[in-house]
A = this chain, B = another copy of it.
Amino acid sequence: VGGLPAGARVAVVGADAAGMSAAASLRRLRPDLDVVAFEQGPDTSYSMCGIPAYVGGLVADAEDLVVRTPAELRASGIAVHTRTEVVALDSAARRVTVRDLDAGRERDEAYDALVYTAGAHPVTGDLPGVEHGHVVHTLEEGRRLRQVLDARDDIERVAVVGAGYIGLELAEALVRRGLPAVLIDRNPQVMPSLDPAMAAHVERALVDFGVEVRLGESLTGISAAGGRCAAVTTDRATHPADAVVLALGARPRVALAQAAGCAVGSSGALVVDERMRTTVEGIWAAGDCVESRHIVSGGPVNVQLGTHASKQGKVAALDIAADGDGPARFPGVVGTAVTTVCDTEVARTGLSTAEAEQAGIAVAETTFGATARADYLPAPGEVVVRMLAEVGSGRLVGAQLVGTGNVGKRIDVAATWCQLGVRVQDAQLFDLAYAPPFGGVWDLLQVGARKLTRTLGLSPVL
């Protein structure tokens, strides 16, 4: 790594959160560099997480989700080529081959440094009829689904396969726009990132909202009639459905980088160091396609979230722009996530019980109900809290919140504790905000910290 000379060329593969945050930072840090980006789709820099809200009609236009259009990016000095797929990467020659998808032509583009932010591709499998299913991984795919839903007035029921964040949000969005939805997953619970007891509360919220939930059923195919989806079949039932959405998760898109010699880790994502350098000289990577260190477990994980993508892109840019080691280091992740499902907020951080087990971390756990506001106030809100702490040390290992009453972002307190290795016995006495509209004199995370301190035989038991 060394300082790139003025006029050197940085190529960015992919023009969403990671890529465009890298590109924008590079423009700011080194206006003397030439920054070019290649994006397969027609859109740039959009909120992938906002797609369910758009499909549901809560957001009027797909364009509302776009933070910076290709034209805006170009005006800022980033040469974005949309509908342009990178089809080969030669790291020795520092050259990519790109295909203009509209013209059907390929050309070579040289680079001095490359930022690989190819994202992830949705898992669909190869079951019979899978081509009749929608995926909503890109804004373009979201547009297609919404167009179908808007245009067809014969849709009586939609099936959503996959009960992760996106699947749940989509099922809710469908019911919200008046379409009966059946949510199918082969797992016995929704949201595998939650412990089963917590996931059960989310499932209840879905059912109460009107979503039909079918767990423990494996998709076996999609059957069509007249070229249109008619039903999804599982190993246990046939569910009539006029449209089907496959929300089965996404795998890091690593093929080109891997072919160019970049190491892929056990998570299936690209290995990068704290400065987002891959194992190949001249190639940095960021976003959904990279592997991060989980700060609590120490192990490698692939977490696909715009917030990490944006940060990692900036870290990569700082390193590319530096003459020597860049000043920023991505510290890793603690597995924080939040969503709203059917008016219920769901949040988690750190490790679940299963993840702690896998990481060989012995934990004690507590699960309890609480109110989000003082219980003597009207509409106090209900929340279920689950917290895990390490046997011996008392370090907070994970926390999960499910409830009403605006509790979702409270997970950030637990996330900070996980990030810094805070021990529950110490956290009990932290100075957290108290007022009746926000709970009791003991913050709910401190109630959990007290319970865990006691369970773990640590001191002081308050």
Contacts and interface: CB of A to CB of B under 8 A. Distances in A.
A409 B438 CA distance: 7
Please indicate which of the listed interface residues A25, A309, A314 has the most CB atoms of chain B within 10 Å of its own CB: A314
A377 B416 contact: no
A412 B415 contact: no
Contacts of A307: 431-432, 434, 441-443
Interface stretch (A194-202, A214-222, A336-344, A387-395): A336-344
A337 B311 CA distance: 30
Interface residues of A, number: 76
B462 A340 contact: no
A291 to B, nearest CB: 15
Contacts of A305: 434
Interface in A315-330: 315, 318, 326-330
Interface in A376-413: 376-378, 406, 408-413
Nearest to A420: B420
Nearest to A348: B433
A377 B429 contact: no
A333 interface: yes
Interface in A413-439: 413, 415-417, 419-420, 422, 426, 428-439
Given A306-B441, A441-B310, A460-B318, A433 B413 contact: no
Contacts of A443: 307, 412
Contacts of A58: 377-378
Contacts of A340: 435, 437
A121 B124 CA distance: 68
Contact of A460 (B306, B327, B333, B430): B327
Contacts of A314: 462
A408 B438 contact: yes
A435 B339 contact: yes
Interface string A213-253: 00000000000000000000000000000000000000000
A314 B306 CA distance: 43
A331 interface: yes
A64 interface: yes
Interface in A278-306: 295, 305-306
Given A376-B50, A413-B413, A429-B330, A434 B306 contact: yes
Contacts of A336: 431-433
A198 to B, nearest CB: 15
Nearest to A328: B460
A193 interface: no
A374 B47 contact: yes
A292 to B, nearest CB: 9
A65 interface: yes
A49 B331 contact: no
A409 B436 contact: no
A338 B435 contact: yes
A311 B377 contact: no
Contact of A49 (B328, B345, B378, B436): B436
B65 A431 contact: no
A416 B431 CA distance: 8
Contacts of A25: 462
A411 to B, nearest CB: 5
Nearest to A54: B376
13 contacts: A50-B374, A309-B441, A311-B428, A328-B460, A331-B426, A337-B433, A409-B409, A410-B412, A412-B443, A415-B430, A415-B431, A416-B417, A419-B430
Interface of A: 17, 25, 47, 49-50, 53, 58-59, 64-65, 295, 305-311, 314-315, 318, 326-340, 345, 347, 349, 374, 376-378, 406, 408-413, 415-417, 419-420, 422, 426, 428-439, 441-443, 459-462
The 9 closest A-B pairs by CB, nearest first: A328-B460, A338-B433, A406-B406, A307-B434, A327-B460, A64-B376, A327-B459, A314-B462, A334-B431
